[in-house]
Structure 1
Amino acid sequence: MKTNLLTIYFLLSAVMALGQQRHKDLPFTQDYAIKYEGNGDYKTMAFDRNGHVQVLSSDGLQRLSPGQLLVPGKIVEDNLYRFMKDKNIVDMLQVENQLVYLDKEVVFSNAWAGKLYMPHQITQPRGFLAVNKSEYLVFNAKQLNQIKDNKMLRSVQSPAEIVEVHAQGQQGFYILTTAGVLALNSTGNILKPVYNKTGLQSMAVHQGKLVLAHAEEGLIFLNNQFKQERVLSKLPSLKLNKVRSIDQQLWVGSKEGAFKVFANGKINYYASKRWLNQDEVIDLKKGPGSSVFVLNKGGLSQLVFEDMTLAKKADFYEKQVRARHIRNGFNANLFGMKNGDISTGFLADSDNDGLWTTMYLASQAFRYAVTKSPDALQNTRESLDAMERLYSINPVKGFPARTFERTGHRDQLGDPEHWQKAPAKDWDWKATTSSDEAIGHAFAFGVIAEVVDVPELKQQAIRLLDSMMTHIVENDMYLVDFDGKPTLWGKWNPAYVNGFSKNIGDRKLNSSNIIGMLQTAYHFTKKPMYKDKIMELFNKHGYLENLMRPMSEIGKADAQADDLSQLLSVYWNHSDDEMYFLGYWGLYRYALTNELKQQYKAAILDHYEAEKPEKDAVWNIMTAMTGTSDFGLADAVWYLQEYPLDLIQWTIKNSNRKDIELLDKNFRNQYTKTVLPPDELKISRHNSNRFNMDGGHDGAAENSAGDIWLLPYWMGKYLKVIE
């Protein structure tokens, strides 16, 4: 009995797939910010064992109104202890999980039945340090008094103005002054200079050593002999004002945000309104649990570090999408928000409603295939119905509208001149559908037809796919609009495609996309016209050669090239990457022959090599489909883990950072040697350049996680590279 060669191929592919790396979904640290808005002259903050957080301002003690991720709280007047208003409080600390205060005359607390009340005998005090709940070191500009159980242990004069005081374990204290660092042992009144330097802003005792924040040089690390061990100047900002050791981690505050510095040199940067109300940091302290408080000019941020799995993160994003990102079944963004307030936004149409929805739709199809979740199935139904209406709401057979919306004020719609009145009352539809819409449709319809074991949904997807592809084939490989003319970008005709020089990306892209689309249609309908068209494009028009062209040959148009070629090759188009990789699903999985499949695999791997630096989860996980062992799993997981829970389009600025290595100008617009983590970049979809350092919209919109995150996650689950 002969064994079918295709069967052998698939068996071998399955064996190869077993050799692929898989990510076991263990908990990782997910960070996010709970912000509390305020407008005061803030000094410091602390909290007690009851979770009561206080902020000290020039107006006295204040507290926090409730806040949560994406819903900021506020800093308000603290009236819990009404007679505290009579106190002129200078500083406060957490001591043995209780709040202790320093005012102009005494150290006192409301804890321990209010018994702590010790005069410090120092004029114009600036701050204090707790040795324990009954012993304190209080200082002003030049004097330090150590008191214990209402007794003065010693009083010491400093030769220079005191900035900060820190404990030296059990050995004594370090005093940071405007002239350098002094040491004060546990007994005696002698201040010993240990490091002389002006311009020091702050100091921390970190892992037994001193770390100093300098106004111009950065972080100065001293060894146990107080000798300069190293200077770290490659920091996001050199405008440093605080350095603290919190839970064995080194934290730095600056006028341009806060950052955590790891022993290996890695830096986590927290700036912009994603993390802080304003970037100028006033103070840093440990918060409840594993959180960190960052007091800033605009209020207080609690940076929360929570153990989370990708599965738990997916659940968070699933709820985000359904709560405020579904418009008539479409996967939509929230627009018109005021300063990041999600309650002020509205769902708006987009040129690419169809594309963004196909990516979310595919994610839910994969989710259903993996989990059999009724919720995922219902999400698939609703979005597939929205996609179907794109075809039925306009009068052109087989032509998908870009989107549709209720009839309203045209000036409130994006691109109003391309909106058309629908035959259905009270509805308009948008014309000029482009190639990126079409490839998204073919991708999602193919995914549903393959992975969703619900006959009516399979047939619905196949019917829509067949309708669009029939339209394209019968219209000479064009998307033909209501006016009888091809749309601007819906063109796969050989005269158009091969009209570009071989180094112009659209020649390769359009060839790759249309072959994948035709293969998908043929695979599920078995209509000969689709296969015949593929062979015609291969044999007569060189589309196989086009799509196999190495990425290294794609570049700028020659000086004598036409205007369109010049326009399309000013720089690398990341929307093209999105179209390529969505198209690879149909190109590879539904290849007509095993020989073609191997050629397609080579093209995909060649493209992946060019995209490696971006660490984009969609590119990497789609590449895993080929069975290759090298598809950047670690980078894909990094992307999924590092993407922020806050998807608001805050304005982000990284171009002023001193810790990133810039590259010379290049065709791909890769500005930095290493791509920054997603939570340090502006929120963007997969069609954007992930090397853009700046951007955003001041909290005016929120992206949906449906296309950005849920697609790569659930595709990774379906392909079994994420366990």
Structure 2
Amino acid sequence: MTKLFLGGMVALGIAALASCNPQSGDSAQSMAGTIVHEDTRFRQELSIKYYLETPGVGLLRAYEDRNGTVQVLSDQGLLRPHDGQFLFPGRLITDRTYLPMKDKRLKDLVLYRDQFVYLDDRSVLSNAWAGSLFVRHAISDASLFQAGKDFSFLVAGAGSLAYYVDSAEVWKGSMGSAQVLGLDYDSRQDRFLVLTPTQVATFTPGQKELKEVFSGSGFTSFSLANGGKHLIIGTNDGFLRVSTASWQQEGERQNRLPWPELTAVREIHGNLWFGSTRGAFMLKPDGKFNYYYGERWLPGDQVMHLAPGSGQNVWVLTDQGLAKLEFFEQTLHEKAEYFDKQMRERHIRYGFNATLVGMEKGNINSGRLGDSDNDGLWTSMYLGGEAFRYAVTGEAEALQNIRESLDAMERLYTINPIEGFPSRSFARRGYIPQLSDPERWQPASHPEWDWKATTSSDEAIGHAFVFGVIAELVDDKEVKDQAVRLIDALMQHIVDNDWYLIDYDGKPTLWGKWHPDYVNNFPRMVGDRKLNSSNIISMLQTAYHFTQKEIYKTKAFELMNDHGYLDNMMVPMEQIGKAEEGTDEWAEMLSESWNHSDDEMYFLGYWGLYRYAFNDTLKAKYRESIIDHWEAERPEKDGLWNIFTALVAPDNFDLEEAIWYLQEYPMDLINWSVQNSHRKDVTPIAENFRRQTLTEVLPPDELPIRRHNANRFGLDAGGMGRSENSPGDIWLLPYWMGRYLGVISGPQTD
């Protein structure tokens, strides 16, 4: 789907990029040879779910007719979906369209010539064709039927079969004691296919002949595919591909599937779809699968039936309800517009970028805006995205968003009594978590407010990153001056307090420490030594670049030359690992495994480290270090890390993986419970320091919703739909940074 071309960015508002710092030479319009993604439409999917509210009802079939009407056959009659839309689930209710149908003991439902046709205990019937279709059958235990040529029908019971033409029974046969599990019709050969747990048989109306053509074991479902040239047989351990010309199996049984216990098989819109006891999946041309499992996609785990919908949509009936998997095309820019609307509607708390928490099973209207230890960090990342957006588009709305969130950032500094100290967050007094966490929550001078203390280093680097981005890119003097004032206040506090963040109690916070005694106490292989060195130099360079205060430059060179911080920064990532035995407990704890939150801190710091480098010699070293880190991160295919790397290597970074990340990230950012550790289509690897669990990372829409500080190789999560993440830091930041750096074009909708 990704298209690459050489050249500068062809996008809206290109002239707005002139505000980029001329010293850096890295603005979009000057990066000759940059590889660029042309933002054309790609396929996106979402799910609209309809839950079964009455317990004990068995769901059997679901179809959509030519009029767009959807019916669900249950063991208690016909149902229909009601009142569902994306993020607002509907429910299955009794279908009262034709009241006489309520008296029918319906056994099966098929779609014939795009109309609903029913099987009850006495007949085949339909309300289409003026209700004229009515075929009496004589199968006492009828459970399945299939339509053939010219309104002919094959009806099956426990083991018996009967064929009807012009409402008359013209043939009757038996499968012996075998249970008939499925029927299909091959229009090319004018023959019916019959499935039992151990065999496939054909019934040819012309010869009135029932003939076994293929045998095996554990059969559960089947479907004609490839224009009728193949029969795909689902089993309790994968599927078989059988030639309908020779009735020979082609290849081995395929059970390297997301889950091999199959319940349904169907070729839909040219793709093979499978239902299982653990979700649904679609076979892709590359042999991999799109996996739809968990409540992000389906209301229940066990798939009962699969059916095509209008357009490219797919209906998936589960034991707990019905899902419409809706497929549509959009550009990344259109996706950004959707996420921006979502962001503003329900993720702004006092100007902060906030998570919606306390939700009831995915109900976004039941949630509340939650505070976070990292309100300043998440808001910095959202603010950065908005600054890039403004630099690209010049939109007044983006500038207003910047003003509002920057005011929230500034209040982190002014709501507490400590000069230059950023609070973690603030909230109105009386908010319940404040009462349960008195160490973090401190009273402000205003009786209405409290502020959160114990600020960490990841907050500080997030602040420095975005204050630099705003000061450089936003051509509004008031906003620019505000950002410079804040970076100056933060760094003056750190310098004045001997490389520490000093809290309300006069002591350093747990994580706000950049002093050489702390940093160099870690062995070289412990990541915090490299990380803290990298971050503090980035912060000092940013402060110097915009304030021109010599103290920041002088102190930075002291740390690099006298205390080895430059050497610390240049330690290759492959040397970062566990501390040796006998090291102090703190170092051992910090190096138990790779800390993915550190990756976020590194990359946010790389903006100021590389872009505002004191000289070209340092800049070259920084570039070497950044690329080394990116090489270590490549397996995760994180969109933000790849876009950040375009800052230093615009002609050689994983653009396709960055676009894959942005395109594959789900539209539904609710934290549903997600499981992947049971999958049979992935290759696990041995436990390792980086906590990489598979040979290849799964797509974002098959994983738990994760910020950039989490391990993208984590397979499971138990979110249960209790919160919704903001797209501000997860998606909008990498997208708009990519637009600003010129590696993602504007929308190409022609």
**TM-score, normalised to structure 1's length?**
0.97
Name 2:241's counterpart in structure 1: 221
How many Å separate the matches in 1 of 2:97 and 2:132? 19
Q: Does 1:41 align with 2:62?
A: no
Post-superposition offset of 1:269: 0.7
How many Å separate the matches in 1 of 2:527 and 2:607? 19
Post-superposition offset of 1:425: 2.2
Write the mapping of 1:555-594 to structure 2, written as runs, cut at 5 A.
555-594=577-616
> Is the 8 Å Cα contact of residues 674 and 703 (structure 2) preserved in structure 1?
yes
Name 2:115's counterpart in structure 1: 98
> Is the 8 Å Cα contact of residues 51 and 90 (structure 2) preserved in structure 1?
yes
Decide whether aligned partners of structure 1 residues 614 and 445 sit closer, same or farther in structure 2, where only a CA change above 3 A counts.
same
Task: From 17, 25, 29, give the equivalent of 2:43.
Answer: 29
How many Å separate the matches in 1 of 2:25 and 2:366? 54
SS of 1:237 mapped into structure 2? coil
Write the mapping of 1:271-350 to structure 2, written as runs, cut at 5 A.
271-350=293-372
How many Å separate the matches in 1 of 2:709 and 2:665? 16
Name 1:375's counterpart in structure 2: 397
Q: Does 1:653 align with 2:675?
A: yes
* 1:465 partner letter: I
Task: From 687, 705, 709, give the equivalent of 2:727.
Answer: 705
Pick which of 504-513 and 237-246 moved more.
237-246
Deviations 1:460-480 (A, max 9, x none): 111111110111111111111
Q: Over the residues paired in the alignment, what is the CA RMSD in angstroms? A: 1.6
Residue ranges of structure 1 left out of the alignment (5+ in a row) = 1-6
Q: Does 1:142 align with 2:162?
A: no
Post-superposition offset of 1:16: 7.9
> Is the 8 Å Cα contact of residues 13 and 627 (structure 1) preserved in structure 2?
no
Task: Provide the aligned length of Structure 1 versus Structure 2.
Answer: 716
> Is the 8 Å Cα contact of residues 17 and 627 (structure 1) preserved in structure 2?
no
SS of 1:250 mapped into structure 2? strand
Pick which of 145-154 and 245-254 moved more.
145-154
Decide whether aligned partners of structure 1 residues 147 and 621 sit closer, same or farther in structure 2, where only a CA change above 3 A counts.
same
Deviations 1:636-675 (A, max 9, x none): 1111111111111111111111111001111000011100
Post-superposition offset of 1:143: 2.4
Write the mapping of 1:596-615 to structure 2, written as runs, cut at 5 A.
596-615=618-637
Name 1:421's counterpart in structure 2: 443
Q: Does 1:166 align with 2:184?
A: yes
SS of 1:242 mapped into structure 2? strand
How many Å separate the matches in 1 of 2:101 and 2:26? 76
Write the mapping of 1:318-467 to structure 2, written as runs, cut at 5 A.
318-411=340-433, 415-467=437-489
Q: Does 1:644 align with 2:666?
A: yes
How many Å separate the matches in 1 of 2:311 and 2:538? 51
Pick which of 93-102 and 424-433 moved more.
93-102
> Is the 8 Å Cα contact of residues 36 and 72 (structure 1) preserved in structure 2?
yes
How many Å separate the matches in 1 of 2:430 and 2:642? 42
Post-superposition offset of 1:505: 0.3
How many Å separate the matches in 2 of 1:531 and 1:9? 17
Post-superposition offset of 1:183: 1.8
Residue ranges of structure 2 left out of the alignment (5+ in a row) = 1-20, 746-750
How many Å separate the matches in 1 of 2:382 and 2:197? 57
Task: From 233, 240, 255, give the equivalent of 1:212.
Answer: 233
Q: Does 1:595 align with 2:617?
A: yes
Post-superposition offset of 1:695: 1.0
* 1:175 partner letter: V
Decide whether aligned partners of structure 1 residues 12 and 318 sit closer, same or farther in structure 2, where only a CA change above 3 A counts.
closer
How many Å separate the matches in 1 of 2:512 and 2:680? 44
Aligned-residue sequence identity (percent) comes to 52
Decide whether aligned partners of structure 1 residues 61 and 487 sit closer, same or farther in structure 2, where only a CA change above 3 A counts.
same
SS of 2:37 mapped into structure 1? coil
How many Å separate the matches in 1 of 2:437 and 2:150? 66
Pick which of 131-140 and 445-454 moved more.
131-140
How many Å separate the matches in 2 of 1:574 and 1:649? 19
Task: From 63, 67, 71, give the equivalent of 2:80.
Answer: 63
Task: From 526, 532, 536, give the equivalent of 1:510.
Answer: 532
> Is the 8 Å Cα contact of residues 67 and 73 (structure 1) preserved in structure 2?
yes
SS of 2:221 mapped into structure 1? strand
**TM-score, normalised to structure 2's length?**
0.93
Post-superposition offset of 1:186: 4.0
How many Å separate the matches in 2 of 1:619 and 1:293? 36
Post-superposition offset of 1:128: 1.4
Post-superposition offset of 1:133: 6.3
Post-superposition offset of 1:260: 0.7
How many Å separate the matches in 1 of 2:478 and 2:23? 30
> Is the 8 Å Cα contact of residues 294 and 302 (structure 1) preserved in structure 2?
yes
Name 1:548's counterpart in structure 2: 570
Whose relative contact order is higher, 1 or 2, with alpha carbons under 8 Å and at least 6 apart? 2
Deviations 1:205-239 (A, max 9, x none): 111201111113x1111134222212211111122
> Is the 8 Å Cα contact of residues 95 and 132 (structure 1) preserved in structure 2?
no
How many Å separate the matches in 2 of 1:576 and 1:132? 65
* 1:229 partner letter: E
Write the mapping of 1:120-159 to structure 2, written as runs, cut at 5 A.
120-131=137-148, 134-159=151-176
Pick which of 167-176 and 703-712 moved more.
167-176
> Is the 8 Å Cα contact of residues 257 and 279 (structure 1) preserved in structure 2?
yes
How many Å separate the matches in 2 of 1:482 and 1:179? 74
Decide whether aligned partners of structure 1 residues 150 and 388 sit closer, same or farther in structure 2, where only a CA change above 3 A counts.
same
Task: From 207, 223, 230, give the equivalent of 1:188.
Answer: 207
How many Å separate the matches in 2 of 1:186 and 1:392? 85
How many Å separate the matches in 2 of 1:718 and 1:494? 36
SS of 1:570 mapped into structure 2? coil
